[in-house]
Amino acid sequence: MSLNPIRPWRNIERRASRKIMVGSVPVGGDAPISVQTMTNTDTTDVKATLAQVLAAADVGADIVRVSTPDQASTQALREICRESPVPIVADIHFHYKRAIEAAEAGAACLRINPGNIGDEKRVKEVIRAAKDHGCSIRIGVNAGSLEKHLLDKYGEPCPDAMVESGLDHIKILQDNDFHEFKISVKASDVFLAAAAYQQLADATDAPIHLGITEAGGFVSGTVKSAVGLGNLLWAGIGDTIRVSLSADPVEEVKVGYEILKSLGLRTRGVQIISCPSCARQGFDVIKTVEILEDRLSHIKTPMSLSIIGCVVNGPGEALMTDIGFTGGGAGSGMIYMAGKQDHKMSNDRMIDHIVELVEKRAAELEAEAEPVAAG
């Protein structure tokens, strides 16, 4: 049971959207907001690509996208799709035949960029392949690759141009009786992306894939993504997300979950609430949290843990977490269980003890959930 009750001022009312399937993963409607990432290996290196897919899935990726720039890549995709534990999206640019090959290879979804996939006839061939092989489609509009006629019309990438591009291609899919699609309107500029997504959300009931594209390195990209995606998610917009970082795909997934957890939209693993540390700390908070994040990374059950260096805010934070530790004097602190003082623990034994408590509580929560799942 969560110790963080839903308050009226915390509720986020999600935008109503249609539900589609990306392989076994529902996107849109009442489905949980899914977290995606993309491999950065050479797709023809099947072993390396599958290793990244498995690593991403292990930290919670629901869907993984794989680049398919050439025929060798779509050939390799067949084994990748067969061995992957999560649905694979084929990333298509420039050559529509790659999309057809990817559908035949077992891709769960085809990501096509309207600005560079080709004319309507080619898009229709991709639709036919998607229908034949049970694929969904993501219309991936990008500010950096808009169609020439839209750039001529608007003079520059802008929300109107991006949304018009997306709606034009939605019409093509719908005119061909294809409705298993989602859409994104990405930009590296937070303001441009947010404005385009807000306009798009009012114009269609299609599931929306959120992303701030080419966001940057780990720190800067995390901040940009949190600001851009957080703003949209808070407004109820978004059915699946991808955090685009110049970093390991595993880190993209972790950041994606942290954004969702911060808004109460999805939980996975241990959420650590910790202080920034100061002269009042009774132990090394920064080092302790770093160690605990690593040692508790295998926990998938949603839990909250507070690690506070002193008694100023520690007891209050512990009231709202499943397990808490508040530092005190004389080399020891207080362990809180379900918001209540439980027992004292020495600082030098605290880390091992907390790991043991978290693992035990996670096992209890999993056991409690099993009869519900079975029912």
The per-residue pLDDT for 115 is 65
Q: CA torsion sign, 371 to 372 to 373 to 375?
A: positive
Classify 185 as helix, strand or coil.
strand
CA atoms within 13 A on the CB side of 149: 6
Top-level class of domain 15-262: alpha beta
Please state, rounded to an integer, the average pLDDT across all residues of the chain: 91
Radius of gyration of the chain from its Cα atoms, rounded to whole angstroms:
23
Kindly list the domain boundaries of the chain, sorted by start residue.
15-262, 270-374
Nearest to 135 by CA among 168, 172, 88, 197: 88
- Please say if the pLDDT value at position 373 is more than 70: no
pLDDT of residue 2: 44
**Global pTM value:** 0.88
Is a pLDDT exceeding 60 seen at residue 1?
A: no
Assign domain 270-374 to its CATH architecture: 2-Layer Sandwich (3.30)
Q: How confident is the model at residue 167 (pLDDT cuts 50, 70, 90)?
A: very high
Q: Mean pLDDT lowest for which of 9-23, 38-52, 233-247?
A: 9-23
